[in-house]
């Protein structure tokens, strides 16, 4: 008996990390705090590092939300699941999740559990099991272990570390993909855990384990040959592409000066934002294309993003966007004479959907989006009264369509005046092409947990209402620019006039004098898809910047209407 015990202990000590089974667990959730968030997907399974991932299978389940609730827009965007995902595909209840997961963990009681980010996931593990605590000596956090064994990476997110190791994580957050990514990282790390013996109490031992040689990870993008390549970049406008190990494009950017722009990623601040650091952790190479002007670089960037759909570009992607012409009657229960006129092209339609529950008349609360947590009919009524009263329009009932029309007659001219007086930067969704915007997915999750107040509801409705007006104003310029000719002398290159022709939204750098640009509203509107919409948005933004910069511009909108920079300054409002 004693001999058998010693034999089992000897065998355990002879086992390596790679040939030992571990439990892997993942959850996708509606928020960051387990106490007030739901598990919407769970996955688990046994895995040993010596196994090939393509031959491995995991157990995954969608988890239904209770009380027929819908998934918020934020979580739909992060996961790719629909609002009513659990009605459209097989799903289990939280009670069934508890039973199945508990049975699996009980079956493998002595097996350590590997989780990518334990600090976040363990509370959801407890929630799934309906338990108050879980033995820390059983949990291995891959996030902490990666920092411990691989110092020097710019980011330790799941996508960054798995991408560094060559695994291409999908953009949408799903358990199957995250289990594979975690297993890839674990297999890589297990090669770095060496020693003559692996103790039975593995988890406490791993927490203090230090590799024999301290190795600071060098990012592939910092390779000396790549350094020479980027230092030899030309001082010319162009478009650049960051690539991963499989030569997939991670990010597309434009540059007025390729040399300065690309090299800016490798100097200055150590922390450049979580999203950018994640991309640089995965990148192993870059390529570039030269163009003649910064404007052409902006337009080429737009076209490349539309074609490639790179995961680290937030702006200019088509994802979930479409171009439409709208009439107010299209979302009124009864048509109005003032509601027949079409407006478009409009691509940012969130404000239309945001306003629909409030404008259509009747009960509002049943149609309120799921992300507006904690609101009541009384709060909605108070918010609407406050909004109308802010424009000297008393309201003592749920507003009808004609009440909203009256509000538009008051609010929109005031917004037009504000825009005219204020020296604005380019509209956010246009100027943002210039900005390396970063966002943290945890911040989006926290936003989804927000409990709304009356003031929040009022601000939400007002923002949507005024944003709709700004979209209508902008759409008029987009239509004009869809067929136009621009004579442009940039302030930084005086004496050199460029003649650009825009034909049905397509940009031509060398235009003839005789091009026809007289087209009807319907003909111009027909030109627009998302690629053309964003392309015209770029030209519109650059016109506004050029006016402010002092460029000499003549804009031919038809054979009879030509605007110079003075007239544009009055009309476009930079």
Query: Could you give all domains of the chain from N- to C-terminal order, each with its CATH number?
Result: 2-207 (3.30.420.10), 220-308 (3.40.1440.10), 331-574 (no CATH)
pLDDT category at 437 given cuts 50, 70, 90 is: very low
Per-residue pLDDT, 207: 79
Per-residue pLDDT, 270: 53
Instruction: Identify the helix (H) or strand (E) that includes residue 255.
Output: strand 249-255
Query: With 50 as the cut, is the pLDDT of residue 177 above it?
Result: yes
- Paired tokens of 468: 């709709």
In 10 A of CB 302, how many CB atoms? 26
- Contact status, residue 389 vs residue 396, Cβ threshold 8 Å: no
CA distance 202 to 223: 36
Mark out the alpha helices in 15-137 (DSSP H runs). 73-79, 85-88, 94-107, 118-129
| Cα dihedral 364/369/373/374 (nearest 10) | 10
Per-residue pLDDT, 512: 61
pLDDT category at 429 given cuts 50, 70, 90 is: very low
CA distance 249 to 306: 12
DSSP for 29-48 reads ESSS-GGG--EEEEEEEEE-
The percent helix, strand, coil of the chain (3-state, each to 5) is 45, 15, 40
CA distance 95 to 556: 67
- Contact status, residue 81 vs residue 68, Cβ threshold 8 Å: no
Residue with tokens 């790679």: 18
pLDDT category at 112 given cuts 50, 70, 90 is: very high
- Paired tokens of 105: 């963990």
Share of the chain above pLDDT 70, in %: 86
pLDDT category at 427 given cuts 50, 70, 90 is: very low
In 10 A of CB 223, how many CB atoms? 13
Per-residue pLDDT, 7: 43
**106-125 b/e (C-beta count within 10 Å ≥ 16 → b):** eeeeeebbbbbbbebbbbbb
- Paired tokens of 45: 């399974």
Per-residue pLDDT, 306: 93
pLDDT category at 156 given cuts 50, 70, 90 is: very high
Per-residue pLDDT, 214: 55
Residue-wise pLDDT for 314-325, tens only, equals 888 887 788 888
CA distance 122 to 107: 19
Residue with tokens 């004579």: 487
Q: Does a cis peptide bond (omega within 30 degrees of 0) precede residue 466? A: no
- Contact status, residue 139 vs residue 122, Cβ threshold 8 Å: yes
Residue-wise pLDDT for 203-261, tens only, equals 888 877 877 655 556 678 778 888 999 999 999 999 999 999 889 999 999 999 999 99
- Range of weakest confidence among 4-13, 90-99, 350-359, 380-389: 4-13
Per-residue pLDDT, 297: 94
Mean pLDDT (the chain, rounded): 83
**540-561 b/e (C-beta count within 10 Å ≥ 16 → b):** bbbbbbbbeeebebbbbbeeee
Query: With 90 as the cut, is the pLDDT of residue 61 above it?
Result: yes
Residue-wise pLDDT for 530-554, tens only, equals 999 999 999 999 998 898 889 999 9
Looking at the DSSP bridge assignments, the partners of residue 91 are 62
Chain CA centroid to CA 290, Å: 28
- Range of weakest confidence among 268-277, 287-296, 550-559: 268-277
pLDDT category at 439 given cuts 50, 70, 90 is: very low
């Amino acid at each position: 008996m004693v001999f058998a015990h010693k034999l089992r202990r000897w065998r355990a000590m002879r086992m390596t990390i790679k040939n030992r089974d571990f439990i892997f667990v993942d959850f996708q959730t509606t928020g960051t705090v387990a106490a007030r968030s739901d598990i919407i997907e769970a996955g688990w399974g046994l895995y040993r590092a010596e196994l090939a991932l393509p031959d491995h299978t995991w157990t995954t389940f969608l988890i239904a939300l209770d009380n027929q609730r819908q998934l918020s827009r934020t979580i739909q965007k992060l996961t790719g699941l629909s609002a009513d995902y659990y009605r459209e595909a097989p799903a289990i209840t939280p009670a069934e999740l508890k039973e199945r997961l508990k049975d699996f963990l009980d079956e493998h009681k002595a097996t350590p559990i590997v989780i990518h980010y334990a600090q976040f996931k363990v509370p959801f593990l407890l929630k799934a099991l309906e338990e108050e605590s879980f033995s820390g000596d059983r949990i291995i956090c891959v996030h902490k272990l990666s920092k411990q064994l691989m110092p020097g990476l710019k980011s330790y997110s799941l996508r960054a570390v798995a991408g560094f190791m060559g695994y291409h994580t999908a953009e949408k957050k799903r358990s199957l993909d995250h289990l594979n990514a975690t297993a890839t990282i674990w297999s890589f790390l297990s090669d770095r855990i060496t020693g003559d013996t692996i103790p039975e109490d593995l988890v406490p031992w791993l927490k203090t384990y230090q590799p024999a040689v301290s190795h600071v990870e060098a990012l592939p993008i910092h390779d000396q040959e790549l350094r020479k390549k980027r230092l030899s970049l030309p001082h010319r406008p162009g478009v650049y592409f960051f690539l991963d190990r499989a030569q997939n494009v991670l990010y597309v950017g434009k540059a007025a000066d390729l040399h300065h722009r690309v090299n800016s990623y490798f100097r200055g601040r150590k922390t450049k934002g979580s999203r950018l650091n994640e991309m640089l952790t995965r990148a192993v190479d870059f390529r570039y294309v030269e163009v003649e002007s910064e404007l052409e670089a902006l337009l080429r960037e737009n076209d490349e993003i539309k074609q490639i759909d790179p995961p680290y570009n937030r702006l200019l992607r088509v994802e979930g966007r479409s171009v439409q012409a709208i009439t107010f009657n299209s979302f009124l229960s009864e048509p109005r004479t003032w509601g027949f006129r079409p407006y478009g092209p409009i691509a940012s339609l969130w404000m239309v959907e945001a306003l629909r529950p409030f404008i259509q008349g009747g009960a509002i609360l049943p149609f309120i989006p799921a992300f507006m947590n904690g609101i009541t009919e009384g709060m909605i009524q108070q918010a609407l009264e406050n909004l109308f009263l802010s424009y000297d329009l008393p309201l003592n009932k749920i507003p009808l369509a004609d009440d909203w029309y009256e509000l538009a007659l008051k609010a929109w001219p005031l917004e037009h005046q504000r825009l005219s007086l204020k020296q604005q930067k380019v509209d956010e969704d246009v100027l943002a092409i210039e900005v390396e915007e970063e966002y943290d997915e945890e911040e989006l999750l926290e936003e989804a947990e927000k409990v709304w107040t009356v003031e929040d509801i009022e601000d939400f409705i007002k923002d949507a209402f005024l944003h709709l007006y700004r979209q209508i104003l902008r759409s008029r310029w987009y239509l004009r620019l869809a067929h136009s000719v621009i004579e442009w002398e940039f302030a930084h290159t005086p004496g050199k006039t460029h003649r650009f022709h825009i034909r049905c939204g397509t940009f031509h750098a060398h235009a003839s004098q005789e091009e026809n640009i007289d087209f009807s509203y319907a003909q111009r509107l027909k030109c627009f898809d998302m690629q053309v919409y964003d392309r015209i948005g770029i030209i519109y933004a650059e016109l506004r910047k050029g006016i402010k910069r002092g460029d000499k511009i003549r804009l031919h909108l038809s054979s009879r209407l030509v605007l110079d920079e003075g007239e544009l300054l009055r009309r476009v409002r930079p």
